[in-house]
Chain A
Amino acid sequence: MTTFSAISATLTIFKKDLRSELRTRYALNALIMFVITTISVILFAIGNESVSPELLSGILWIIIFFSTMSGLSRSFVSEEERGTVMTLHLIARPLTIYFGKLLFNLILLGALNIFTVILYLLFVTGFNVSSYSIFIVTILLGTLGLASASTIIAAIIAKANTKGTLYPVLSFPILLPLLLTVINATKLSVEGAAFIDAVGDFQVLISYLVVITTISYLLFEYIWKE
C-alpha cells in the first residue's frame, strides 16, 4: 500500500465514523447536554460565593476530563458492540484504523472543548483569562494529549467487559501528568503570566503527546489483533 492510499484509507475511516455519528447522533447530543448540565451544576454549587481563579482552572479541566470519558470511547466500543470489528480486520491494516479513529476523537474532543470553554468563559464569573496566548495554546495541547491518551485506552477497554466504569479508572493515572500540567498552565493564563513562564509546561505537554502517540502506535496492533 502506498503512503497516499494509506492516508486515504485513514481519512475514510475518519469520515465513516464522522458520518455515522452525524447520522445517528448517539454521542453528540448526550455530550453537549453533559457539558451544559455539568457547568450548570457547578454554577449552582458555587452560588454567590467567590471562588479563586486557581480553583476554577481546575474545575474547567475536571469538566473536560469527564466529558472526554463520556464521549471518546464510542469510536471503538461501537465497533465491538455491533460486531463490525471483524469487518474492519478484513479491509484495513491496524494502524489505518487507529489513526482514523484517533483523528475522529481529536475532532470530536476539539469541538467539545471549544464549546465547553466558550460556555465556561461566558457563564462562570471569576474566571477571567488575562493572557489568551497561554490559554489557547494550553487548550490546544491539552486537547491533543487528552485525545491521544484517551484513544489508546478506549481501544483497550473496548475489548473488556465492564467498559463504562473501566474507562475513567484506566485513563486517570495515565492522564494525571497531563491534567496537572494543563491546570497549572491555565492558572498561569488567569494570573496574567508572561508567555515565557508557561513554556516549561508546554514543553511537558508536547513531550507527553509525543510519548503517548509513539507508544500507542507501537502497541495498537497488540490490542487490535484477536
Chain B
Amino acid sequence: MNTISFTTEKIAKTFNRRKIFSEISFSLNKSDSLAITGRNGSGKSTLLKILANVLSPTKGEIGMKINDKIVKPTDYFAYLGLVSPYLQLYDEFSGWENLDLFRRIRGVDASVDYLTELLRRVNLWERRNDYVRTYSSGMKQRLKYAFALIHRPPILLLDEPTSNLDTEGISTVYQIIEEQKKAGILIVATNDAEDMKKCEQVLDLNTQASGKDPK
C-alpha cells in the first residue's frame, strides 16, 4: 500500500438523547499515529467502534482512500483491524480454528504459514489447539492481536492495547505498534501514559481538543 488516507468529518454520537461527543474531525495519512484519550465514559471505545465501522455515528462522515482510490464504506472492514476489550472470540473453537475461520470468512490471501507466524509471534503457538474458553485473559488479548493482523490491515485500531498483558506481551504489542506506524495508520484509545507516548497526535475527548504532540 503506497498511500493511505483516513479522514473523519464532524463525527458525533448521541445515545438516547445524551450527547457523547461531537465535531470529531481529523485526517490521517500513512505513518500517522493518533492517541484518543479521555476520562472513563468520555466515549473513547465508542469512537473507536465508530472508526472501526461497527457502530454508526449519529452525524458525520468517515472517508478512506487506499492508493488514491476511494474505498466504499461497505468495503471498509477489509482494511481495518481492531483489538478491543469488547471483542469476543468463539470460545468453543480453538485458537487456531478461530484464526482459520476468520481468514476464510475474510477471504484473505493469508496462507497457513502466515497463521503459524502470527500465532508464534503472539506466543500462542503451543496452545493453538486448545479451546479459547480455556485461555487466560492475557492469552485472549494476544489472540485478538492475531485476529486483527490476519489481513495485514493498513489501519489498526487498538482499544486499551496493553490491558491484561505481562511485560513480554506488552513488548510484543509495542513491536506491532512500531511496525504498524511504518506501514500504515495507527489509532490507539487509552489513558496509559506509556501507550500514549507511542503516538504522534493526541485527541483528548475531555476537552475535544486535538493537536500534534511533538515527541
A–B in direct contact per CB < 8 Å: yes
B134 to chain A, nearest CB (A): 14
Q: How many cross-chain pairs have Cβ atoms below 8 Å apart between A and B?
A: 67
- CB-CB under 8 A from A225, the residues of chain B are 56
Please give me the residue from chain B that is nearest to A9 by CB atom. Answer: B105
Please give me the residue from chain A that is nearest to B84 by CB atom. Answer: A86
- Contact residues of A: prevailing secondary structure: helix
- Do residues B88 and A90 form an inter-chain contact, with CB atoms below 8 A? no
Interface residues on B, range: 20 to 34
Q: Mark B71-108, 1 if CB is under 8 A from A, else 0.
A: 00011011010101011111111000000011011110
Total interface residues in chain A, CB < 8 Å: 25
- Of residues 169 to 193 in B, which have CB atoms within 8 Å of A's CB atoms? none
Assess A89 versus B104: contact at CB under 8 Å? Given A20-B90, A20-B93: no
Counting CB contacts under 8 A, is B55 at the interface?
Answer: yes
- CB-CB under 8 A from A1, the residues of chain B are 75, 78, 107
Q: Mark B46-65, 1 if CB is under 8 A from A, else 0.
A: 00010011111000000000
A77 to chain B, nearest CB (A): 15
For the complex, what is the distance from the CA of A87 to the CA of B99, rounded to whole Å?
12
Assess A84 versus B93: contact at CB under 8 Å? Given A89-B77, A90-B80, A226-B55: no
Please give me the residue from chain B that is nearest to A94 by CB atom. Answer: B74
- Do residues B77 and A90 form an inter-chain contact, with CB atoms below 8 A? yes
For the complex, what is the distance from the CA of A93 to the CA of B105, rounded to whole Å?
10
Please give me the residue from chain B that is nearest to A96 by CB atom. Answer: B105
Counting CB contacts under 8 A, is A12 at the interface?
Answer: yes
- CB-CB under 8 A from B54, the residues of chain A are 86, 89-90, 226
Please give me the residue from chain B that is nearest to A26 by CB atom. Answer: B92
Among B78, B82, B86, B104, which residue has its beta carbon within 8 angstroms of that of A83?
B86
Interface positions of A (Cβ within 8 A of B): 1, 5-6, 8-9, 12-13, 16, 19-20, 23-24, 82-84, 86-87, 89-93, 96, 225-226
Other than the given A84-B89, A226-B56, 4 more pairs (CB < 8 A) read A8-B107, A24-B92, A89-B54, A91-B102
